[in-house]
């Protein structure tokens, strides 16, 4: 999953908070007015939810789940979470750590025999400092047109003779979808469940996340997903086309989405995603020490902070965490402000690169 913002510096600009206390009614009204204006000019097609102390204080659906059929979104609509789903992979590793099945500093090869880089640890993968090459670039260059890759294909690519790393483990930070695919394979090897089964058993069912699953095209045709919001692209003339509604439009998904697991590929409602984030924050899934490690910035070998924990962007100061996600036709975002115990989640299914409203939204969250 390609991240919505490719440079860490830009990501950190989005996560800047100096606020504490409760969100005021007038600020919620301001947020609603902001989204009303966006909806009126068709600048936002998607769902948004705002929670404080685990309780919904604002929720809104704007636009259509299926533009061609004119089907509106509702509060239970299901979106592709893209890279916002990396926190599920990290949490799964954390749960196995709490089970005593692994440690974060274990070499990957300890759990995936034959993994070709014995000096890479689980922590290196979690923090994006492993230096592994990008599997998407490889499959784009060498994959069969229209083919679908799975996790074993990614592992086979890494094992190819001549496959080289971008840098030695820990020397630098580079956002790595490949690393999170490997982590999902570790979850499967250690737990004895497929990745989607593990999340269903340990996360979705216990938390009542009925609109969430780790999606694989082989197991779940889109038509079987109740309330699925199709992704759409908008051209310069304002014309909107679906990206994943039929075989003819699935080409943009050929690599990096299905059935590869771990680097994203979680689908769910914004309600469910907020439920998951609050379960992490309130200690329902991980032990306190494990959660603390998940929300602590990694560091390079020379001590530089990366601003990324385990599946989460964690800016300096420890005031908040969050993540973005982007795949063709979808953009997702979540942000949790620790002092206020406020969680914002939104998902868009008509892709737009207009972010003129984003600073205003943050200001409304932070002004009290």
Q: Are 64 and 228 in contact (CB under 8 A)?
A: no
Q: Are 176 and 3 in contact (CB under 8 A)?
A: no
3-state helix, strand, coil in the chain (%, to 5): 35, 20, 50
Q: Are 109 and 121 in contact (CB under 8 A)?
A: no
Taking CA atoms, 362 is separated from 91, 93, 314, in Å, by 27, 31, 16
Q: Helices 177-191 and 151-158, interaxial angle, to 10°? A: 110
Sheet holding 213-214, edge to edge: 79-80, 266-268, 213-214
pLDDT of residue 245: 77
pLDDT of residue 10: 33
CA dist., res. 256 & res. 264, Å (int): 9
CATH number, domain 8-366:
3.40.710.10
In sequence order, what DSSP letters do the residues of 58-88 get, joined into one string?
EEEEESEEETTTTEEP-TT-BEE-GGGGHHH
Pairing type for strands 64-66 and 71-72 reads antiparallel
pLDDT of residue 248: 57
Catalytic sites, residue numbers: 83
pLDDT of residue 241: 87
- Write out the two tokens for 346: 């939104």
Taking CA atoms, 365 is separated from 54, 57, 342, 343, 344, in Å, by 16, 12, 9, 10, 9
In sequence order, what DSSP letters do the residues of 32-68 get, joined into one string?
HHHHHHHHHTT---EEEEEEETTEEEEEEEESEEETT
Q: Give me the average pLDDT of each 10-residue run along the chain (368 residues).
A: 36 40 83 94 94 95 95 96 96 98 98 97 98 89 71 94 93 97 98 96 97 71 78 88 71 56 93 98 98 98 97 92 93 95 96 87 81
CA dist., res. 339 & res. 319, Å (int): 7
What's this model's pTM, rounded to 2 decimal places?
A: 0.91
Sorted by where each begins, the domain ranges of the chain are 8-366
Which is nearest to 136 in space by CA: 266, 302, 253? 253
pLDDT of residue 142: 78
pLDDT of residue 217: 57
CA dist., res. 87 & res. 323, Å (int): 8
């Amino acid at each position: 999953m390609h991240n919505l913002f490719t440079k860490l510096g830009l990501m950190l600009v989005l996560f800047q908070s100096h606020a504490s206390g409760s969100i005021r009614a007038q600020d919620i009204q301001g947020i609603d007015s902001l989204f009303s204006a966006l909806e009126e000019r068709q600048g936002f097609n998607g769902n948004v939810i705002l929670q404080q102390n685990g309780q919904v204080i604002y929720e809104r659906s704007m636009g259509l789940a299926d533009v061609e059929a004119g089907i509106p979104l509702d509060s239970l609509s299901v979106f592709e979470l893209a890279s916002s789903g990396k926190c599920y992979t990290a949490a799964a590793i954390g749960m196995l750590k709490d089970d005593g099945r692994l440690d974060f500093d274990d070499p990957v090869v300890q759990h995936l025999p034959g993994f070709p880089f014995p000096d890479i640890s689980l922590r290196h993968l979690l923090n994006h400092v492993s230096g592994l090459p990008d599997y998407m670039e490889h499959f784009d260059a060498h994959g069969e047109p229209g083919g679908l890759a799975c996790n074993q294909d990614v592992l086979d690519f890494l094992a190819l003779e001549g496959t080289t790393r971008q840098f030695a483990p820990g020397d630098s930070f580079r956002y790595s979808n490949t690393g999170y695919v490997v982590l999902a394979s570790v979850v499967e090897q250690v737990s004895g469940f497929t990745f989607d089964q593990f999340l269903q058993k340990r996360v979705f069912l216990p938390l009542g996340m009925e609109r969430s699953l780790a999606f694989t095209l082989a197991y779940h045709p889109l038509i079987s997903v109740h309330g699925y919001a199709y992704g759409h692209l908008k051209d310069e003339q304002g014309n909107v086309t679906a990206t994943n509604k039929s075989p003819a439009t699935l080409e943009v998904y050929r690599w990096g989405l299905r059935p590869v697991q771990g680097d994203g590929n979680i689908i769910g409602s914004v309600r469910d995603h907020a439920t998951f984030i609050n379960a992490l924050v309130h200690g329902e899934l991980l032990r306190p020490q494990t959660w603390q490690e998940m929300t602590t910035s990694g560091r390079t070998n020379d001590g530089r902070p990366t601003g990324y924990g385990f599946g989460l962007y964690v800016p300096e100061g420890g005031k908040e965490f969050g993540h973005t996600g982007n795949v063709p036709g979808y953009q997702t975002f979540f942000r949790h402000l620790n002092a206020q115990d406020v969680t914002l989640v939104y998902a868009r299914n008509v892709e737009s690169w207009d972010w003129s409203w984003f600073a205003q939204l943050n200001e409304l969250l932070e002004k009290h």
